[in-house]
Amino acid sequence: MTAFIVFKGIRYYMKKIELLSPAGDYNSFLAAISCGADAVYLSGDKFGARAYAKNFSKEELIKAIDYAHIFSRKVYLTLNTLLKDEEMGEIYDYLLPLYEAGLDAVIVQDMGVISYIRKVFYDMPVHASTQLTITGIEGIRLLENLGVTRTVLARELSMKEIEYIHDNSNMELETFIHGALCYSYSGKCLFSSLAGGRSGNRGRCAGPCRQPYNDEYLLSTKDICSIDYIPSMIKAGICSLKIEGRMKSPEYVGKVTAIYRKYIDYYYDNITKMSVKEISDKFFTGHEFNNDKNILIKLYTRGGNSSGYYYKHNGREMISVSDASYKTEKEENKDIDFTNNIKMPLSAFVRIYPDENISILINNEFYYEGNKALVAKNRPTDSETVLKQLKKTKDTEFEFTDINFDIAKNAFVLLSDLNELRREAINCVRNELTKKYKRKSDFNRNTIVSEMSDESIKDQAFGNNSDLDKDRSISDSKIVINCEITNYEQLKAAASSEYVNGIYIPFILCKDKNIIKSLRESNKKVYVTFQSVCRHNYLNINKEEIVSLFDYIDGVLADSHEVIQFFKDNGFNKEIIGDIHIYTLNKEAENMYYDIGVSKLTVPVELNKKELYKLSLKHSEIIAYGYLPMMVSAQCVNNTCFSCDKVEKTITLKDRRGAKYFAVNSCETCINTIYNNVPLFLKGEQDFLRKLKVNSIRLSFTMESELQIKEIINYFAKCIILGENCDTELLTDMYTKGHLNRGVL
């Protein structure tokens, strides 16, 4: 737990909260450091969630790490995308030089990457990305068990939820305080991927939420500005305040950082003198604060800003309904250069005597000797000459501010020797200040390869992209059909088929144990399902009722880490099936989930056939039919368009090309799901399904009628179970096969 002391009945934390700023290029990095960031998050040329930012070369990354460490700041690398199996072999060479340079942490989404780093770069901290959609203490416990040291929480959490997580875990908690806000829970969005082939999970989001639907920008959230909540965030136990903006300019990064730095410092400068309320009343109100806040909002705004989800679950006022475009106003003081290096002041004592090595003592600590001084033949070297050469530190992190001399009257030094003395002395100081951060890896490629027994795994892990699907034979093992339903009418249709093996039933229907009992009596397996996001309050309130189902059900379909850990915590010893947002694009991720207790996985929907063949899929289920969820949101289209009437309904969203998507609100959990405009339908893919060697297919029903459900079940029963010719005349011709043929970027 974080240590804290109590003052005037209010606790505050001994460790000062971190201000974490973004950097899309080196100039933005300099702006963040010079304007007061405690840490900077950035990306190299691979695996970052902002693939279209300028990003950093390897040399720039190492330079940034050293620069930050000189000033006791930190650098975090974003490796927060999902990696395909053939990309896993690139991690070692990518991270090794940064690890050895002293990289402070890696921000990760992919569970396979977490597993890999914890094994190979085991002493480097791993921060769980907000893309993992962690919303509760259960998800935190799961990550703690994996060795994750910090979690970037889902943006949708309230201050109360954050404080609860802090008080009941040892995890460092990071939250976003300023910048762009996604409509969907981060990590639960497949819109850009399914609609355009550019995956947000791989850093290439095309921003479909910023487009008009029904002639309004119903999915475009305003940027957040939460500077008012700094005292509350510190009190809640948040350890790091994160500014969004790796696609934005150095001016934006510098100004936003400077203003947040100002008010964080105000808080800590006064916490021993007054209460949190008094600080808020004095420093977080009034003309100066309002002026600074207005500057923040004018830097970038989408129809105004909101204060985020800390004290509000959703609302139309959080959406830029009339205009999704960014607007910005330039400051009048355009002469400010936010990319200037900040300088570390150095004191120096220089000694120059003939026939002795010239020497310099810096800060009474660092000593360096140069070449020998000579006896002056004509004009001896004076202090002004030495001073002029030592002051040439413009391109470094240092400047000499206090220089003393002991120069013999007959001494002479070449200017080139003085310049070399300056350069080498500064390098000496730089090396001394940064060496405590440096590491040496005890792993290498050969070590890792020797620990892999399967030659095909070695090939994939280290870049040998052989066609592994050439020799993949069609499996003769039986494939069963499972159905996922959303209401009682669909349940009846699925249960009436002799070909259906198991049925996934929403928790709200499972409360009627007579339904479960009748299904079990008809030899149907029963699995309980929950919403894609299950926050702690919901699980806790329903804990007794959920646990009471354990003896009646065969398993759970879990689409969140909270549900996985909840069932584990409560002793569930049957099937835990990872759903569509439990991402396993590589074998390392597959194995990680099996290791933590998941018994079956859903085949990734963002991989093509060739990529899927490279996975083991030994205990997997593929979705063969269904409207796939494009977005899962805490916002509500019904509330935005009309009002919160607490009535569940389906609203059609028509884009500018006429495509119609379906938004369905769940009032029980206050979750809004937007589904694709056409269903995924693996028509004619029976050979592929057998070749993939999955053990089950899933038919996912959302808005289908009883007749449609029966037709779809019969189609797959004929072509998968009975091996007959398949009649598709009664089925829709408007469908997609997802990414089976094209894949994603």
Q: Nearest-CA neighbor of 110 among 160, 48, 154?
A: 48
Residue 53 confidence (pLDDT): 63
Answer whether 244's CB lies under 8 Å from 226's CB.
Answer: no
Residue 304 confidence (pLDDT): 83
Q: How far is Cα 507 from Cα 559, in angstroms, rounded to an integer? A: 13
The backbone torsions φ and ψ at residue 744, rounded to the nearest 5 degrees and listed phi first, read -120, 160
Q: Band of the pLDDT at 724, cuts 50, 70, 90?
A: confident
Assess whether pLDDT exceeds 90 at residue 11.
no
The backbone torsions φ and ψ at residue 110, rounded to the nearest 5 degrees and listed phi first, read -75, 125
Answer whether 479's CB lies under 8 Å from 696's CB.
Answer: yes
Identify how many contiguous H helices and E strands the chain contains and give both numbers.
26, 30
Assess whether pLDDT exceeds 70 at residue 718.
yes
Residue 730 confidence (pLDDT): 56
Residue 332 confidence (pLDDT): 46
Residue 302 confidence (pLDDT): 83
Beta strand 74-79 pairing with 357-362 = unpaired
Look up residue 477 and give its DSSP letter.
S
Say whether 267 sits in a helix, a strand or coil. Answer: helix
Assess whether pLDDT exceeds 90 at residue 190.
yes
Residue 330 confidence (pLDDT): 60
Average pLDDT over residues 120-131: 97
Stronger pLDDT, 656 or 732, i.e. the higher one? 656
Q: Which token pair is 182?
A: 């996604």
Neighbours of 564 (CB within 10 A): 25
Residue 478 confidence (pLDDT): 87
Average pLDDT over residues 498-521: 94
Assess whether pLDDT exceeds 90 at residue 715.
yes
pLDDT tens per residue across span 383-436: 999 999 999 998 899 999 999 999 999 999 999 999 999 999 999 999 999 999
Q: How far is Cα 282 from Cα 289, in angstroms, rounded to an integer? A: 10
* pLDDT cut 90: percent of the chain above it: 80
Assess whether pLDDT exceeds 90 at residue 476.
no
Model-level pTM greater than 0.85? yes
pLDDT tens per residue across span 562-583: 999 999 999 999 999 999 999 9
Q: How far is Cα 151 from Cα 139, in angstroms, rounded to an integer? A: 10
The backbone torsions φ and ψ at residue 105, rounded to the nearest 5 degrees and listed phi first, read -170, 160
Assess whether pLDDT exceeds 80 at residue 662.
yes
Residue 553 confidence (pLDDT): 96
Say whether 224 sits in a helix, a strand or coil. Answer: strand
Q: Band of the pLDDT at 6, cuts 50, 70, 90?
A: very low
CA distances from residue 651 to 315, 335, 488, 532, 672 in whole angstroms, order as listed: 17, 50, 21, 19, 11
Residue 14 confidence (pLDDT): 52
Average pLDDT over residues 472-482: 80
Answer whether 719's CB lies under 8 Å from 713's CB.
Answer: no
pLDDT tens per residue across span 337-367: 666 668 999 999 999 999 999 999 999 999 9
Q: Band of the pLDDT at 702, cuts 50, 70, 90?
A: very high
Neighbouring residues of 21: CB distance < 8 A, sequence distance ≥ 6: 32, 35, 37, 39, 40, 41, 243, 245, 253, 256, 257
DSSP characters for 76-116?
EEEE-S---GGGGGGHHHHHHHHHHHT--EEEE--HHHHHH
One-letter amino acid for residue 6 of the chain: V
Q: How far is Cα 203 from Cα 247, in angstroms, rounded to an integer? A: 12
Residue 448 confidence (pLDDT): 59
Neighbouring residues of 436: CB distance < 8 A, sequence distance ≥ 6: none
**Mean pLDDT lowest among 3-7, 50-54, 595-599:** 3-7
Answer whether 183's CB lies under 8 Å from 672's CB.
Answer: no
Average pLDDT over residues 532-541: 97
CA distances from residue 449 to 23, 559, 613 in whole angstroms, order as listed: 35, 33, 21
CA atoms within 13 A on the CB side of 743: 11
Q: Which token pair is 159?
A: 């201050």
Residue ranges in 373-441 assigned as alpha helix (H): 383-390, 415-434
CA atoms within 13 A on the CB side of 134: 29
Residue 9 confidence (pLDDT): 39
Residue 454 confidence (pLDDT): 45
Average pLDDT over residues 124-135: 98
Residue ranges in 408-534 assigned as alpha helix (H): 415-434, 445-450, 455-461, 488-495, 507-510, 513-521
Residue 34 confidence (pLDDT): 94
Assess whether pLDDT exceeds 90 at residue 485.
yes
Q: Nearest-CA neighbor of 532 among 678, 702, 666, 623?
A: 666
Phi-psi region of 8 (alpha: psi -120 to 50; beta: other; left: phi over 0): left
Residue 3 confidence (pLDDT): 39
One-letter amino acid for residue 628 of the chain: L
Neighbours of 149 (CB within 10 A): 15
Assess whether pLDDT exceeds 50 at residue 4.
no
Residue 336 confidence (pLDDT): 55
* Mean pLDDT of all residues belonging to the chain: 90
Assess whether pLDDT exceeds 50 at residue 94.
yes
Residue 51 confidence (pLDDT): 63
Assess whether pLDDT exceeds 80 at residue 477.
no
pLDDT tens per residue across span 17-46: 999 999 999 999 999 999 999 999 999 988
Beta strand 357-362 pairing with 366-372 = antiparallel
Q: How far is Cα 50 from Cα 27, in angstroms, rounded to an integer? A: 17
Neighbours of 734 (CB within 10 A): 9
Answer whether 247's CB lies under 8 Å from 50's CB.
Answer: yes
Beta strand 4-7 pairing with 500-506 = unpaired
pLDDT tens per residue across span 604-651: 999 999 999 999 887 899 999 999 999 999 999 999 999 998 999 999
Q: Band of the pLDDT at 465, cuts 50, 70, 90?
A: very low
- Measured distance between the N- and C-terminal CA atoms of the chain, rounded to whole angstroms: 41
